[in-house]
Protein backbone atom coordinates (compact mmCIF):
# COMPACT_ATOMS: atom_id res chain seq x y z
CA UNK A 1 0.00 0.00 0.00
CA UNK A 2 2.32 2.75 -1.18
CA UNK A 3 0.02 4.97 -3.24
CA UNK A 4 -0.74 8.50 -2.12
CA UNK A 5 -3.96 9.67 -0.47
CA UNK A 6 -5.51 12.96 0.67
CA UNK A 7 -5.05 14.60 4.07
CA UNK A 8 -5.23 18.07 5.61
CA UNK A 9 -1.81 18.76 7.09
CA UNK A 10 -0.73 21.70 9.27
CA UNK A 11 2.84 22.72 8.49
CA UNK A 12 5.22 25.36 9.80
CA UNK A 13 5.15 28.44 7.54
CA UNK A 14 7.24 31.31 8.93
CA UNK A 15 6.80 30.01 12.49
CA UNK A 16 3.00 29.57 12.24
CA UNK A 17 0.90 26.44 11.57
CA UNK A 18 -0.76 26.63 8.14
CA UNK A 19 -3.19 23.86 7.11
CA UNK A 20 -3.58 22.67 3.49
CA UNK A 21 -5.17 19.74 1.69
CA UNK A 22 -2.36 17.67 0.16
CA UNK A 23 -1.33 14.20 -0.94
CA UNK A 24 0.60 12.03 1.54
CA UNK A 25 1.54 8.35 1.71
CA UNK A 26 1.79 5.61 4.35
CA UNK A 27 5.37 6.77 4.98
CA UNK A 28 3.95 10.02 6.42
CA UNK A 29 1.91 8.16 9.06
CA UNK A 30 3.27 7.54 12.56
CA UNK A 31 4.76 4.21 13.59
CA UNK A 32 1.74 2.95 15.57
CA UNK A 33 0.19 -0.55 15.67
CA UNK A 34 -3.28 -0.12 14.20
CA UNK A 35 -3.68 0.93 10.54
CA UNK A 36 -7.18 2.25 9.78
CA UNK A 37 -9.02 3.14 6.61
CA UNK A 38 -10.76 6.33 7.70
CA UNK A 39 -14.35 6.79 6.48
CA UNK A 40 -15.44 9.97 8.27
CA UNK A 41 -14.20 12.68 10.56
CA UNK A 42 -16.01 15.74 11.93
CA UNK A 43 -15.72 19.50 12.18
CA UNK A 44 -15.76 20.80 15.76
CA UNK A 45 -15.09 24.29 17.10
CA UNK A 46 -11.54 23.19 17.95
CA UNK A 47 -11.03 22.02 14.34
CA UNK A 48 -12.12 25.48 13.20
CA UNK A 49 -9.43 26.98 15.44
CA UNK A 50 -6.79 24.57 14.08
CA UNK A 51 -7.64 25.00 10.37
CA UNK A 52 -7.85 28.79 10.52
CA UNK A 53 -4.76 29.12 12.73
CA UNK A 54 -6.87 31.22 15.14
CA UNK A 55 -5.37 29.34 18.11
CA UNK A 56 -2.25 27.15 18.37
CA UNK A 57 -4.12 23.82 18.48
CA UNK A 58 -1.47 21.86 16.52
CA UNK A 59 1.45 21.89 18.94
CA UNK A 60 3.71 19.64 16.86
CA UNK A 61 4.32 20.22 13.14
CA UNK A 62 3.78 18.84 10.59
CA UNK A 63 0.54 17.29 11.85
CA UNK A 64 -2.59 15.87 10.24
CA UNK A 65 -5.60 17.88 11.53
CA UNK A 66 -8.98 16.57 12.74
CA UNK A 67 -9.74 15.65 16.38
CA UNK A 68 -12.13 12.78 15.48
CA UNK A 69 -12.13 9.81 13.15
CA UNK A 70 -14.17 6.71 12.41
CA UNK A 71 -13.15 3.86 10.14
CA UNK A 72 -12.28 0.23 9.61
CA UNK A 73 -9.15 -1.55 10.79
CA UNK A 74 -6.93 -2.65 7.86
CA UNK A 75 -4.04 -4.14 9.85
CA UNK A 76 -3.24 -4.46 13.54
CA UNK A 77 -0.05 -5.50 15.32
CA UNK A 78 -2.14 -5.48 18.52
CA UNK A 79 -4.21 -8.66 19.05
CA UNK A 80 -7.07 -6.61 20.53
CA UNK A 81 -8.01 -5.46 17.00
CA UNK A 82 -8.53 -7.34 13.73
CA UNK A 83 -9.01 -6.29 10.11
CA UNK A 84 -12.65 -5.31 9.58
CA UNK A 85 -13.23 -3.95 13.10
CA UNK A 86 -15.18 -0.68 13.10
CA UNK A 87 -13.60 1.86 15.43
CA UNK A 88 -13.63 5.53 16.39
CA UNK A 89 -11.33 7.95 18.19
CA UNK A 90 -12.21 11.27 19.87
CA UNK A 91 -9.49 13.58 21.13
CA UNK A 92 -6.58 11.97 22.98
CA UNK A 93 -4.39 14.67 21.46
CA UNK A 94 -5.38 14.03 17.83
CA UNK A 95 -4.63 17.23 15.87
CA UNK A 96 -2.77 18.57 18.92
CA UNK A 97 0.26 16.31 19.38
CA UNK A 98 -0.84 13.23 17.38
CA UNK A 99 -1.91 12.90 13.74
CA UNK A 100 -5.67 13.29 13.38
CA UNK A 101 -8.66 12.30 11.29
CA UNK A 102 -8.56 14.50 8.16
CA UNK A 103 -6.96 11.71 6.15
CA UNK A 104 -7.97 8.61 4.25
CA UNK A 105 -5.66 6.41 6.35
CA UNK A 106 -4.24 6.72 9.84
CA UNK A 107 -2.12 4.71 12.27
CA UNK A 108 -3.34 4.66 15.87
CA UNK A 109 -2.40 3.72 19.39
CA UNK A 110 -4.82 0.97 20.53
CA UNK A 111 -5.28 2.83 23.83
CA UNK A 112 -7.11 5.65 22.03
CA UNK A 113 -9.64 3.45 20.24
CA UNK A 114 -13.32 2.99 21.10
CA UNK A 115 -15.27 0.23 19.34
CA UNK A 116 -18.25 1.52 17.37
CA UNK A 117 -21.40 0.42 19.24
CA UNK A 118 -23.21 -2.33 17.31
CA UNK A 119 -26.33 -0.31 16.64
CA UNK A 120 -24.41 2.64 15.14
CA UNK A 121 -23.03 3.32 11.68
CA UNK A 122 -19.64 4.96 11.15
CA UNK A 123 -21.38 8.04 9.82
CA UNK A 124 -23.68 8.26 12.88
CA UNK A 125 -20.67 8.15 15.21
CA UNK A 126 -19.21 11.13 13.40
CA UNK A 127 -22.55 12.95 13.25
CA UNK A 128 -22.04 12.90 17.02
CA UNK A 129 -18.23 13.15 17.09
CA UNK A 130 -16.42 14.86 19.94
CA UNK A 131 -19.29 17.35 20.28
CA UNK A 132 -21.94 14.67 20.78
CA UNK A 133 -19.78 12.56 23.04
CA UNK A 134 -19.06 15.69 25.11
CA UNK A 135 -22.79 16.37 25.30
CA UNK A 136 -23.28 12.92 26.79
CA UNK A 137 -20.42 13.49 29.26
CA UNK A 138 -22.26 16.66 30.37
CA UNK A 139 -25.60 14.83 30.66
CA UNK A 140 -23.94 12.06 32.67
CA UNK A 141 -22.25 14.75 34.80
CA UNK A 142 -25.74 16.00 35.76
CA UNK A 143 -27.13 12.48 36.25
CA UNK A 144 -24.15 11.36 38.35
CA UNK A 145 -24.78 14.30 40.70
CA UNK A 146 -28.39 13.16 41.06
CA UNK A 147 -30.24 15.66 38.83
CA UNK A 148 -33.54 14.08 37.74
CA UNK A 149 -36.33 15.33 35.44
CA UNK A 150 -38.48 15.96 38.55
CA UNK A 151 -35.96 18.52 39.86
CA UNK A 152 -36.87 21.16 37.27
CA UNK A 153 -35.72 22.64 33.96
CA UNK A 154 -32.26 22.23 32.45
CA UNK A 155 -30.64 25.16 30.65
CA UNK A 156 -28.48 24.43 27.58
CA UNK A 157 -26.36 27.36 26.35
CA UNK A 158 -24.97 27.72 22.82
CA UNK A 159 -27.88 25.44 22.05
CA UNK A 160 -27.79 25.68 18.26
CA UNK A 161 -24.13 24.60 18.15
CA UNK A 162 -22.83 21.03 17.96
CA UNK A 163 -22.53 20.23 21.67
CA UNK A 164 -25.64 22.25 22.52
CA UNK A 165 -27.99 20.77 19.91
CA UNK A 166 -27.08 17.17 20.81
CA UNK A 167 -27.49 18.01 24.52
CA UNK A 168 -30.98 19.43 23.86
CA UNK A 169 -32.03 16.23 22.06
CA UNK A 170 -30.48 13.89 24.65
CA UNK A 171 -31.95 15.69 27.67
CA UNK A 172 -35.42 15.98 26.11
CA UNK A 173 -35.30 12.28 25.21
CA UNK A 174 -34.46 11.46 28.83
CA UNK A 175 -37.54 13.34 30.01
CA UNK A 176 -35.98 16.62 31.17
CA UNK A 177 -37.64 19.98 30.47
CA UNK A 178 -35.04 21.72 28.32
CA UNK A 179 -34.66 25.49 27.97
CA UNK A 180 -32.40 26.27 25.01
CA UNK A 181 -30.37 29.48 25.05
CA UNK A 182 -29.32 30.75 21.65
CA UNK A 183 -28.28 33.94 19.91
CA UNK A 184 -30.22 32.75 16.85
CA UNK A 185 -33.84 32.36 18.01
CA UNK A 186 -35.31 33.59 14.69
CA UNK A 187 -33.09 31.35 12.60
CA UNK A 188 -32.77 28.26 14.83
CA UNK A 189 -35.74 28.42 17.22
CA UNK A 190 -37.88 25.92 15.27
CA UNK A 191 -34.91 23.57 14.89
CA UNK A 192 -34.36 23.61 18.67
CA UNK A 193 -38.05 23.05 19.40
CA UNK A 194 -37.93 20.12 16.96
CA UNK A 195 -35.12 18.61 19.05
CA UNK A 196 -37.30 18.83 22.14
CA UNK A 197 -36.64 22.28 23.66
CA UNK A 198 -39.74 23.43 25.53
CA UNK A 199 -38.58 27.05 25.87
CA UNK A 200 -36.08 29.34 24.14
CA UNK A 201 -33.90 31.78 26.09
CA UNK A 202 -32.35 34.72 24.19
CA UNK A 203 -28.56 34.74 24.56
CA UNK A 204 -28.65 38.38 25.75
CA UNK A 205 -30.70 37.32 28.81
CA UNK A 206 -27.53 35.56 30.02
CA UNK A 207 -24.64 37.41 28.31
CA UNK A 208 -24.68 40.31 30.77
CA UNK A 209 -23.33 41.30 34.18
CA UNK A 210 -25.23 39.27 36.78
CA UNK A 211 -25.93 39.58 40.50
CA UNK A 212 -24.22 37.08 42.83
CA UNK A 213 -27.58 35.32 43.29
CA UNK A 214 -30.52 35.62 40.92
CA UNK A 215 -33.95 33.96 40.80
CA UNK A 216 -33.55 30.17 41.02
CA UNK A 217 -34.48 28.73 37.62
CA UNK A 218 -32.36 25.72 36.69
CA UNK A 219 -31.97 22.27 38.25
CA UNK A 220 -29.06 21.76 35.89
CA UNK A 221 -27.09 23.54 33.20
CA UNK A 222 -25.05 22.36 30.21
CA UNK A 223 -22.86 25.34 29.34
CA UNK A 224 -20.87 25.48 26.11
CA UNK A 225 -20.31 29.25 26.14
CA UNK A 226 -18.40 30.26 29.31
CA UNK A 227 -17.76 33.82 30.52
CA UNK A 228 -20.83 35.97 31.38
CA UNK A 229 -23.31 33.37 30.16
CA UNK A 230 -21.83 30.78 32.53
CA UNK A 231 -21.69 33.26 35.43
CA UNK A 232 -25.37 34.16 34.98
CA UNK A 233 -26.35 30.49 34.66
CA UNK A 234 -24.55 29.71 37.95
CA UNK A 235 -26.33 32.62 39.68
CA UNK A 236 -29.70 31.27 38.45
CA UNK A 237 -29.10 27.63 39.43
CA UNK A 238 -31.49 26.18 42.00
CA UNK A 239 -30.61 24.88 45.42
CA UNK A 240 -28.20 21.88 45.02
CA UNK A 241 -28.36 22.22 41.24
CA UNK A 242 -25.47 21.20 38.97
CA UNK A 243 -23.73 23.19 36.21
CA UNK A 244 -21.72 21.16 33.69
CA UNK A 245 -19.21 23.51 32.04
CA UNK A 246 -17.53 22.27 28.88
CA UNK A 247 -17.00 25.19 26.51
CA UNK A 248 -15.72 28.67 25.85
CA UNK A 249 -17.48 29.70 22.62
CA UNK A 250 -18.25 33.07 24.26
CA UNK A 251 -14.96 33.44 26.13
CA UNK A 252 -12.64 31.70 28.57
CA UNK A 253 -13.28 34.05 31.49
CA UNK A 254 -15.44 33.38 34.51
CA UNK A 255 -16.18 36.16 36.97
CA UNK A 256 -18.56 34.79 39.56
CA UNK A 257 -18.97 34.80 43.34
CA UNK A 258 -18.94 32.03 45.92
CA UNK A 259 -22.56 32.80 46.89
CA UNK A 260 -24.25 30.14 44.70
CA UNK A 261 -21.83 27.53 46.07
CA UNK A 262 -22.02 28.39 49.78
CA UNK A 263 -25.67 29.48 50.01
CA UNK A 264 -27.29 27.14 47.47
CA UNK A 265 -24.90 24.18 47.42
CA UNK A 266 -24.52 24.54 43.64
CA UNK A 267 -21.99 22.19 41.99
CA UNK A 268 -19.79 23.36 39.12
CA UNK A 269 -18.87 20.20 37.20
CA UNK A 270 -16.01 20.56 34.71
CA UNK A 271 -16.24 18.33 31.64
CA UNK A 272 -13.25 17.30 29.53
CA UNK A 273 -13.54 14.95 26.60
CA UNK A 274 -9.94 14.93 25.38
CA UNK A 275 -8.22 12.92 28.10
CA UNK A 276 -11.30 11.18 29.56
CA UNK A 277 -10.61 7.56 30.52
CA UNK A 278 -11.55 4.67 28.25
CA UNK A 279 -14.18 3.57 30.79
CA UNK A 280 -15.82 7.01 30.74
CA UNK A 281 -15.70 7.11 26.91
CA UNK A 282 -17.20 3.66 26.45
CA UNK A 283 -19.94 4.47 28.97
CA UNK A 284 -20.77 7.68 27.07
CA UNK A 285 -20.79 5.95 23.67
CA UNK A 286 -22.92 3.07 24.93
CA UNK A 287 -25.39 5.60 26.35
CA UNK A 288 -25.39 7.53 23.05
CA UNK A 289 -26.13 4.32 21.14
CA UNK A 290 -29.01 3.56 23.52
CA UNK A 291 -30.58 7.03 23.78
CA UNK A 292 -29.73 9.27 20.81
CA UNK A 293 -32.80 9.90 18.66
CA UNK A 294 -31.62 8.91 15.14
CA UNK A 295 -34.13 11.20 13.40
CA UNK A 296 -32.83 14.13 15.44
CA UNK A 297 -29.28 13.08 14.62
CA UNK A 298 -30.07 13.10 10.89
CA UNK A 299 -31.81 16.47 11.20
CA UNK A 300 -28.95 18.13 13.06
CA UNK A 301 -26.07 16.88 10.90
CA UNK A 302 -24.91 17.36 7.34
CA UNK A 303 -22.04 15.78 5.43
CA UNK A 304 -19.34 17.90 3.79
CA UNK A 305 -16.37 16.77 1.70
CA UNK A 306 -12.89 17.25 3.17
CA UNK A 307 -12.11 19.63 0.28
CA UNK A 308 -14.61 22.20 1.69
CA UNK A 309 -13.29 22.29 5.23
CA UNK A 310 -10.98 25.27 4.85
CA UNK A 311 -14.05 27.39 3.92
CA UNK A 312 -16.03 26.03 6.89
CA UNK A 313 -13.43 26.91 9.55
CA UNK A 314 -14.20 30.67 9.83
CA UNK A 315 -17.94 29.89 9.79
CA UNK A 316 -17.83 27.60 12.82
CA UNK A 317 -15.71 30.16 14.68
CA UNK A 318 -18.28 32.86 13.84
CA UNK A 319 -21.09 30.66 15.24
CA UNK A 320 -22.68 30.35 11.78
CA UNK A 321 -22.90 26.55 11.65
CA UNK A 322 -25.97 24.90 13.17
CA UNK A 323 -25.69 21.38 14.53
CA UNK A 324 -22.97 19.02 13.38
CA UNK A 325 -20.77 18.63 10.31
CA UNK A 326 -19.71 15.12 9.28
CA UNK A 327 -16.56 15.16 7.14
CA UNK A 328 -16.41 12.64 4.29
CA UNK A 329 -12.66 12.14 3.82
CA UNK A 330 -13.02 10.04 0.64
44 belongs to the binding site for ligand NDP (CB under 6 A): yes
Select 232 or 273, whichever has its Cβ closest to ligand NDP: 273
Select 242 or 316, whichever has its Cβ closest to ligand NDP: 316
Residue window 259-288: x/- pattern of binding to ligand NDP, with contact defined by CB under 6 A? ------------xxxx--------------
From the list 270, 241, 252, the residue with the least C-alpha distance to 141 is: 270
225 belongs to the binding site for ligand NDP (CB under 6 A): yes
Residues 6+ apart with CB under 8 A from 297: 124, 127, 128, 166, 169
70 belongs to the binding site for ligand NDP (CB under 6 A): no
Shortest reach from residue 233's CB to ligand NDP, in Å: 12
Distance in angstroms (rounded) separating the CA atoms of residues 36 and 76: 9
From the list 51, 41, 6, the residue with the least C-alpha distance to 24 is: 6
Candidate list 71, 132, 162, 220; residue touching ligand NDP; CB under 6 A: 162
Shortest reach from residue 182's CB to ligand NDP, in Å: 3
Candidate list 155, 321, 326, 329; residue touching ligand NDP; CB under 6 A: 321
Closest residue (Cβ) to ligand NDP?
A: 161
Angle subtended by helix axes 162-173 and 185-194, to nearest 10: 40
Shortest reach from residue 285's CB to ligand NDP, in Å: 14
Q: Could you say which residues in the range 116-145 bind ligand NDP, by CB under 6 A? A: 130-131, 134
326 belongs to the binding site for ligand NDP (CB under 6 A): no
From the list 67, 63, 53, the residue with the least C-alpha distance to 14 is: 53
DSSP-assigned states of every residue in 215-268: ---EEEEEESS-HHHHHHHHHTEEEEEEEEE---TT-S-----SHHHHHH--EE
* Neighbouring-strand partners of residue 51: none
Candidate list 17, 101, 153, 161; residue touching ligand NDP; CB under 6 A: 161
Output the CA torsion 25→30→36→41 (10° steps): -90
200 belongs to the binding site for ligand NDP (CB under 6 A): no
Candidate list 222, 230, 316, 327; residue touching ligand NDP; CB under 6 A: 316
Helix (H, G, I), strand (E, B) or coil at 25: coil
Write phi, then psi, for 261 (nearest 5 degrees): -80, -40
Shortest reach from residue 274's CB to ligand NDP, in Å: 5
**Could you tell me if 11 and 20 are in contact, meaning their C-beta atoms sit under 8 angstroms apart?**
yes
301 belongs to the binding site for ligand NDP (CB under 6 A): no
246 belongs to the binding site for ligand NDP (CB under 6 A): yes
Amino acid sequence: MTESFSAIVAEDVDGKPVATLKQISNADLPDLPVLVEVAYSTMNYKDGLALSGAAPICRKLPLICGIDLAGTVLESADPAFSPGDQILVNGFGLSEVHNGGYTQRQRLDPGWIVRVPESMSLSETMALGTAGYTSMLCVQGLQDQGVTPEDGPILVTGAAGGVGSVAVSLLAGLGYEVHASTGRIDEQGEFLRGLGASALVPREDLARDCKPLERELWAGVVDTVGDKVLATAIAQTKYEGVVAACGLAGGAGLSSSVMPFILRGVTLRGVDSVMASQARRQRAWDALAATMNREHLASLSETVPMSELMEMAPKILAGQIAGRLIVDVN
